[in-house]
């Protein structure tokens, strides 16, 4: 699995967009980018994933650069409940025998 690099921590004002970057310069052509978050010792929560196109769901948007070496998770209107550790993970398409490798992630603090 390709390695990812994320900032250790970020702050965001409540109501503003939170943009969380992730570098994955060694990503392979068939590897997906996944985002999870973990709110204070709760189980990690799936947010979104993508291969090469930008993706959007009810929680967030995922912007992947054309060369796929980096991506940005966007929370459009951050709330206090979005304060969490956000993990960017790169993984291949086959879930047989594969697992998620969680790095230290980015600790996002949403400030009132």
Chain contacts with other proteins (rule: CB under 8 A): 32, 34, 38, 41-46, 49, 87, 91, 93, 95-104
Q: Give the closest residue to 25 by CA, choosing from 64, 62, 58, 60.
A: 64
CA 37 to chain centre: 8
Shortest gap between Cβ of 19 and other proteins (angstroms)?
A: 22
**Residue 102 CB, nearest distance to other proteins (Å)?**
4
- Distances in Å between the Cα of 1 and the Cα atoms of 11, 58, 93, 107 are 29, 28, 11, 22
Q: How many CB atoms lie within 10 A of CB 4?
A: 23
Q: Residue 41 or residue 66: which is nearer to other proteins going by CB?
A: 41
Name the residue nearer to other proteins (CB basis): 14 or 107.
Answer: 107
* Shortest spacing between CB 71 and other proteins, in angstroms: 16
How many Å apart are CA 102 and CA 112, to the nearest integer?
A: 29
Cβ proximity to other proteins: between 26 and 98 the closer is: 98
| Minimum CB–partner distance for residue 28 and other proteins (Å) | 15
Strands 9-13 and 106-111: parallel
Which is closer to other proteins, CB of 80 or CB of 101? 101
């Amino acid at each position: 699995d390709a390695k990812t690099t994320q900032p250790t921590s970020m702050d965001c004002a409540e109501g503003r967009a939170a943009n969380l970057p992730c570098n994955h310069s060694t990503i392979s052509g068939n590897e997906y980018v996944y985002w999870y978050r973990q709110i204070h010792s709760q189980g990690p929560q799936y947010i979104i994933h993508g291969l090469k196109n930008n993706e959007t769901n009810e929680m967030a948007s995922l912007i992947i650069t054309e060369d796929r070496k980096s991506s940005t998770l966007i929370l459009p209107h951050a709330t206090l409940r979005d304060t969490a550790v956000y993990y960017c993970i790169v993984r291949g398409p086959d879930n047989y025998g594969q697992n998620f490798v969680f790095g230290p992630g980015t600790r996002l603090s949403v400030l009132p």
